[in-house]
Amino acid sequence: MSTPADFWNDQPVIPVVVINNADNAVELARTLVASGTKKIEITLRTPAALEAISRISAEVPEALVGAGTVIDLQTATRAVEAGAKFIVSPGATKNLLKALEGSGLPYLPGCSTLSEALELIDNGVTTAKFFPAVESGGTAWLKAVSSVIPQLSFCPTGGIGLANYKDFLTLSNVVCVGGSWIAPAKLIDEGNWGEIKKLASQVNMETK
């Protein structure tokens, strides 16, 4: 069975981070933690991602660093070995669900259709990633399925930003959202920690 909603709903917005240089990882994590953002998803889309997770796990223990874009057993295993504290996947297959369950970590499998959501429910999943959220129907889709599958809650990710994230958080079947606007790759590459702290602090103030 997947991780209960309680694990996800203690932080309304999870930064979805693409990091190009692992040397920036520790300072990024410290900046986000200082703003009140402890849960951080590092997507496995760059060669630096696993090292970034490892460094944050070792040097910023107050952060809860997770691995995103986990798509198979190999990436799940590497994420665990790097020190990830949770795992997020953009989708789900039977083999991937086995890998996620076998990791021993909190995990969030993905879906974008009602049939995929039903498949997750059949596999004991209670909280799922809805991705790509806006492109797959956004808040309208989530409202439509809320009475059909009330046993499944969601973390919408994809197309979510400062202008619309609150619309998602008002929904009864949404426990949190994921977004890259809090820590954009450009600001990380520039080492603009002041602006990242400002963006993260703004969200934390608005969601209290």
- CB contact at 8 A, 72 and 95: yes
Residue of 41, 51, 190, 208 marked catalytic: 41
| Active-site residue, 135 included | no
Task: Render 137-178 in DSSP notation, one character per residue.
Answer: THHHHHHHHHTT-TT-EEEEBSS--TTTHHHHHTSTTB--EE
Please tell me the distance from the alpha carbon of residue 179 to that of residue 186, in angstroms, as a whole number.
14
What crossing angle do the helices spanning 49-59 and 25-34 adopt, rounded to 10°? 50
| Active-site residue, 166 included | no
Burial class of residue 147 (count of CB atoms within 10 Å of its CB; 0-12, 13-18, 19+): exposed
Please tell me the distance from the alpha carbon of residue 80 to that of residue 82, in angstroms, as a whole number.
5
How far is the first Cα of the chain from the last one, in angstroms, to the nearest whole number?
30
- CB contact at 8 A, 75 and 103: no
Residue of 129, 186, 197, 198 marked catalytic: 129
- Only one residue has tokens 């703003």, namely 35
Please tell me the distance from the alpha carbon of residue 73 to that of residue 52, in angstroms, as a whole number.
20
CA atoms within 13 A on the CB side of 58: 10
Catalytic residues: 41, 129
